[in-house]
């Protein structure tokens, strides 16, 4: 592959552990190999419960706005924006803390915030004090908890698994989160049918509390601090650390391209999916709450299947960057068709196919970024990843709400699909380096040991 590009003294390869390679791109029976690692099992279980709550809460806030509070599409988009806007303020500092501070404590703090928010929302709905302004405030509060915890969650995966298991671990984590977010809206819809929306939020609080159990025995490996991170403290040093994370991304062409495409998917795919799919189900498919929630389940089925297929690949996947772009364009093409569909069965089928391709591009995007990022800067790079993913998605949701007011929810779906196909085609044709990226570098660079943990 030639010399690895360097930035800020960091070799562009994952740190930590000896590289073992096997036959490249071959299906094996080691689909669940990463589960052999105890701490990955605990982290996976915690992430599963956390993502389950996120799947429930996204649908809950959307249904709260459009059904309970009877608000329009703009406020539907605004609620999604409120859930994600905290990442603009908290994810980057959280990434610095993930490279410096006790990572277990960061996980606990983030989950407690979300738990408290769910309890408050349940009580306010139960006593009939929930208003549109209060709902938006609760979305902001819950979004803060997510923003604090997400960077460290992403950064811990390459910290607890060796490089040759990274794609397997990422895809298993993705499959677990996909299943949880697939089950989440359906479970949330069932909770609404049985106990009302307040029961939905109460269920979120119970699940979030249960997830804390898996954090207690988690052993987080020590990590080496880079020279910038190791020196000093305070706001100025934090700002320097954040700049170093951005510098690492900007100076590496392929990683920069991966982040640009991540931004595109957040704005024109993830945002409209999360925000407008309930409205499309309501207006074009004549679906009620439970039926609308099941559409997310069909999407999740495809995501889970493709994630498990990737997890079964042994060794490095050649030209993973090219597969990533093609999968992105395929999902976008299905989005164009969904925007015009008035058949529930057709939309469900298309969502399942969309999930198959989306599972490929989401897993490969994160695998490529983490495989070529060293541990000392991983927290900050994952903070930027979180900023784009969780911040870009609600911004795309806000734009989706405005676009739906202008041309309708379904038509905006199709417009976003066309835009995503065009951007994907541009990178596919012009960036040969990205197309030829393998799923992990040929060699791994071991990071020096650090005393302590966390």
- Write out the chain's pLDDT in tens, 454 residues: 444 444 444 444 443 433 344 444 444 557 888 898 999 999 999 999 998 898 888 888 888 888 778 777 788 878 877 887 887 888 888 888 877 777 888 888 999 999 999 999 999 989 888 888 898 999 999 989 988 888 888 888 888 888 788 888 988 998 888 778 777 777 888 888 888 888 999 999 999 998 899 988 888 776 555 554 445 556 777 888 888 889 999 998 899 999 999 999 888 888 887 778 888 888 888 887 778 878 877 888 888 888 888 888 766 788 888 999 999 999 999 989 988 988 889 989 999 999 899 889 888 998 899 888 887 888 889 889 988 887 777 788 888 888 888 888 888 889 999 999 999 999 999 988 888 888 777 543 333 333 334 5
Residue 165 within a domain: yes
Q: Is 51 helix (H, G, I), strand (E, B) or coil?
A: helix
Q: Which long-range contacts (CB under 8 A, 24 or more apart) does 401-404 make?
A: 401/73, 401/74, 401/75, 401/76, 401/77, 401/78, 401/80, 401/275, 401/276, 402/74, 402/77, 403/272, 404/73, 404/77, 404/276, 404/279
Q: Are 58 and 185 in contact (CB under 8 A)?
A: yes
> Would you call 398 helix, strand, or coil by DSSP?
helix
Domain presence at residue 139: yes
Tell whether the torsion through CA atoms of 170, 175, 178 and 180 is positive or negative.
negative
Instruction: Give me the domain span that covers residue 273.
Output: 31-435
For residue 444, what pLDDT is reported?
38
In a domain, 76, yes or no: yes
> Half-sphere exposure (CA, 13 Å, Cβ side) for 29?
0
| DSSP H or E run through 428 | helix 409-430
Determine, yes or no, domain membership for 12: no
> What is the Cβ-side half-sphere exposure of residue 84, based on CA atoms within 13 angstroms?
25
Beta bridge mates, 314? 26
- The model's pTM is 0.75
Structurally, how many domains does the chain consist of?
A: 1
Q: What's the pLDDT at 328?
A: 93
Q: Is residue 17 part of a domain?
A: no
**How many angstroms separate the CA atoms of 271 and 294, rounded?**
18
| Number of neighbours of residue 266 by Cβ within 10 angstroms | 22
Q: What distance in Å separates the CA atoms of residue 313 and residue 172, rounded to the nearest whole number?
A: 12
CATH number at residue 232: 1.20.1250.20
Q: What is the pLDDT of residue 442?
A: 59
The pLDDT assigned to 329 comes to 94
State how far the Cα of 123 lies from the Cα of 76, in Å rounded to an integer: 22
Distance, CA of 100 to chain centre: 23
Per the domain annotation, does 99 fall within a domain? Answer: yes
pLDDT value at position 205?
93
pLDDT at 369: 92
Identify the sign of the CA torsion 424, 426, 429, 432. negative
Cα(83)–Cα(141) distance, rounded to whole angstroms? Answer: 8
Task: Please report whether residue 450 resides in a domain.
Answer: no
As a whole number of angstroms, the distance between CA 436 and CA 190 comes to 45
Instruction: State the pLDDT at residue 446.
Output: 38
CA atoms of 193 and 384, how far apart (whole Å): 38
Q: Is residue 347 part of a domain?
A: yes
How far apart CA 397 and CA 22 sit, in angstroms, is: 42
Q: Which two tokens stand for residue 245?
A: 């994370």
Please give the pLDDT value at position 286: 81
């Amino acid at each position: 592959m030639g010399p690895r590009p360097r930035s800020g003294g960091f070799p562009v390869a994952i740190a930590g552990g000896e590289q073992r390679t096997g036959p490249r791109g071959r299906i094996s029976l080691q689909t669940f190999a990463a589960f052999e690692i105890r701490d990955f099992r605990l982290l996976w279980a915690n992430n599963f419960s956390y993502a389950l709550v996120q799947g429930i809460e996204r649908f809950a806030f959307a249904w709260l706005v459009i059904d309970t509070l009877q608000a329009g599409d703009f406020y539907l988009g605004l609620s999604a924006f409120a859930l994600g806007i905290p990442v603009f303020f908290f994810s980057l500092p959280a990434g610095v803390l993930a490279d410096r501070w006790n990572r277990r404590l960061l996980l606990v703090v983030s989950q407690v915030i979300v738990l408290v928010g769910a309890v408050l929302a349940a009580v306010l709905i139960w006593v009939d004090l929930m208003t549109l302004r209060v709902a938006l405030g609760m979305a902001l509060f819950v979004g803060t908890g997510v923003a604090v915890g997400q960077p460290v969650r992403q950064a811990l995966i390459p910290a607890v698994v060796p490089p040759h298991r990274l794609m397997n671990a990422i895809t298993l984590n993705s499959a677990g989160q996909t299943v949880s977010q697939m089950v989440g809206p359906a479970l949330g819809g069932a909770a609404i049918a049985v106990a009302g929306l307040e029961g939905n939020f109460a269920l979120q609080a119970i699940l979030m509390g249960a997830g804390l159990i898996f954090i207690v025995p988690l052993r987080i490996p020590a990590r080496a601090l880079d020279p910038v991170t190791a020196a000093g403290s305070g706001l100025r040093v934090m700002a320097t650390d954040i700049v170093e994370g951005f510098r690492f991304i900007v100076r590496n062409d392929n990683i920069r391209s991966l982040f640009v495409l991540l931004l595109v998917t957040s704005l024109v795919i993830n945002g409209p999916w999360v925000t407008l799919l309930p409205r499309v189900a309501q207006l074009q498919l004549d679906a009620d709450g439970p039926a609308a929630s099941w559409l997310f389940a069909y999407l999740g089925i495809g995501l889970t299947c493709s994630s498990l297929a990737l997890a079964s690949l042994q060794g490095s996947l050649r030209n993973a960057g090219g597969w990533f772009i093609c999968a992105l364009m395929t999902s976008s093409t299905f989005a164009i068709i969904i925007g015009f569909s008035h058949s529930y069965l057709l939309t469900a089928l298309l969502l399942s196919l969309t999930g198959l391709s989306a599972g490929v591009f989401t897993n490969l995007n994160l695998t490529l970024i983490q495989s070529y990022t060293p541990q000392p800067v991983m927290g900050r790079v994952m903070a930027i990843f979180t900023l784009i993913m969780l911040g870009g998605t609600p911004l795309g949701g806000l734009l989706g709400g405005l676009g739906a007011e202008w041309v309708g929810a379904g038509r905006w779906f199709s417009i976003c699909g066309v835009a995503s196909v065009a951007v994907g085609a541009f990178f596919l044709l012009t960036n040969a380096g990205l197309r030829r990226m393998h799923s992990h570098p040929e060699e791994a660079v071991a990071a020096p040991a650090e005393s302590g943990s966390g």
